[in-house]
Amino acid sequence: MTEVPGRPGRVAGSTHTVGVIGWPVEHSLSPAIHNAAFEALGMDWVYVPFPVPPGQVAAALAGLPALGFSGANVTMPHKTECADLIGDLSEDARALRAVNTIVVGAEGLAGHNTDVSGFDRFLDVDAGFDPSGRTALVLGAGGAARACSLALARRGLAALTVAVRRPEHAERVGLLVEPFGTKVSGVAFEDANGVPANLVVNATPLGARGEPLPLPPLDPGGLAVDLLTRPASTTLLSEARRAGCAAFGGVGLLLHQGAIAFELWTGRVPPLDVMSAAALAELAEPGSSSGS
């Protein structure tokens, strides 16, 4: 809980409130990282989880301005429905048909998607990876996969292979990145092990419990990213480290997209080191499980 100046541990009527909308949200890392940033900056803000069951999204959105909230993050399974319900969408939110950040303003709700720019920042700041002229394999074609694909295409990725269960999902990714000149092809998920790439991104829930993934030989000079935030070692990350490939879990994307949301709400740049320390501390808690 954020501290009101002069009143440690108290939330007052002047406190700005934001949070995360999802179902479920009890394992979300976002409250820990945002509240740590608010506290570090001495801001009278608080971030809380909003468990919103399916069928109640419209009511939840209507309640945000009515109750004086400043904004919210959106996680599964509500990102697409929020994009359908909010009229004022950013370019990325409209392109992806997915909202992960809401800003409450005088004119109503504005929907943003910070995953694209968050992944771009992650590539620069954490991974030090330049996708220009290189190749990538993305496992999955959901919202996070599309966001990563769009970020890579904007950075000049030469070729992208999308491994999916249903071919039409790869076609959606192709249409999304077509304006940027990236060559896109789709393969059956089980055939991904025949696709060499400089970058491999797992955007599925598979591998969290050691399940096998159809992985190609990993390039020792390449990059592997598993968008799962938990556990610390997944199938992809274990295989990548064994091959001498740079390997990152999903905390980096979570932090960078969260930092952009923080900036949208507050107009201030958050202390990323504080947010990272809070995320790692939360992940170290016994019994922690995957979440955003």
On the question of a cis peptide bond just before residue 231, with omega within 30 degrees of 0, the verdict is yes
> Which are the catalytic amino acids?
79
Tokens 């170290």 correspond to 284
CA distances from 80 to 86, 111, 117, 146, 205 (A): 10, 11, 18, 13, 19
Contact 12, 38 (CB under 8 A): no
**CA–CA separation, 205 and 67 (whole Å):** 35
Provide CB contacts within 8 A for 41, sequence distance 6+: 268, 270, 271
Q: Quick one: which of 169, 167, 149 has its CA closest to 159? A: 149
Cα pseudo-dihedral 67, 73, 77, 82, rounded to 10: 60
Q: Which amino acid is at 67?
A: L
Tell me, rounded to whole angstroms, the distance of Cα 89 from its chain centroid: 18
